[in-house]
Structure 1
């Protein structure tokens, strides 16, 4: 039963639409951290984790996407044999989401933008480092998400006359 669910979810994860929307979860995560809403943060994380199988499986899967996801699947299935580098990768994801929430919780748009940009950069670096040529499949969704998130945050800051600074207001 579990294997059937995993196969079902994996087939949907090959739909790159989920790759494009996943970075956009930064915006509600930042909003709920700004509002200091634990419930909103938790719901956003659940949505983020489930978003990979919201879309139907594509009719055709790009070979680079398939190779990259095969690498990720192999990595996940070898969880008992993880190297310190892989453990650091998992901790980096958790740490970056925590840092993002803390930046917006403390009302620092500047640090929030720094963290968002670092998250996108590190995602691409990790993807290419782990997935070789297939890792480049992550580049366009990461850049599109980054541009949309940065633009939205800067627009909101200007709209509400909020300072974009590395200092707390």
Structure 2
């Protein structure tokens, strides 16, 4: 048990590095790609990489007080009593992955973008509701991640449509 405690302390210190807050939304892009390609293995590997990315970066030398306060409220939330409403709220995370994969698996770009945007804005709302004023610390990483994903989907759709148009033209 001591190993687990040591590992969790090590990971927790690294989770304070906000670089991981910026990198985590970028995992949505390979997730979308693998959903579009209907590749289950890629989806699973991407989710594992996403969940481990919170401790890929070194622990920061200094931590913004708002980040510290927010992460403490997040930790208190996770370690606190689990009520039915907390369980249901927590199920939004796997629901996000399910609906995101479903949207791109079925080639529904607009639904996929809607899922991405709803998740990003929902994360900000939950963070502020749960963490109070310190919850605003997630706003910039969440919005940047959302905008990058939206732009990548737009350019991906544009690229695929151009390829399909070119293929159709060549076939004639």
Question: What's the TM-score once normalised by structure 1's chain length?
Answer: 0.92
Matches of 2:16 and 2:85 in 1, distance apart? 25
1:111 alignment counterpart: 111
Matches of 1:132 and 1:83 in 2, distance apart? 20
Q: Which digits, 9 at most, give the CA deviation of each residue in 1:62-96, with x for residues without a partner?
A: 00100111111112222xx2123321221111111
Q: Which digits, 9 at most, give the CA deviation of each residue in 1:95-114, with x for residues without a partner?
A: 11110000011111111001
Q: Secondary structure at the match of 1:115?
A: helix
Count of residue correspondences? 160
The root-mean-square deviation of aligned C-alpha atoms, in Å, is 1.0
Unaligned 5+ segments in structure 2 are 163-172
1:71 alignment counterpart: 73
Q: Which digits, 9 at most, give the CA deviation of each residue in 1:117-144, with x for residues without a partner?
A: 0000100000000000010000000001
Counterparts of 1:141-156 in structure 2, within 5 Å, are 141-156=141-156
1:135 alignment counterpart: 135
2:63 alignment counterpart: 61
Is 1:36 the counterpart of 2:49? The answer is no
Is 1:3 the counterpart of 2:2? The answer is no
Question: What's the TM-score once normalised by structure 2's chain length?
Answer: 0.90
2:157 alignment counterpart: 157
Matches of 1:129 and 1:16 in 2, distance apart? 20
Question: Deviation above 3 Å: which 4+ runs of structure 1?
Answer: none
Matches of 1:18 and 1:86 in 2, distance apart? 25
Structure showing the higher helix proportion among its residues: 2
Matches of 1:39 and 1:120 in 2, distance apart? 25
Matches of 2:85 and 2:60 in 1, distance apart? 32
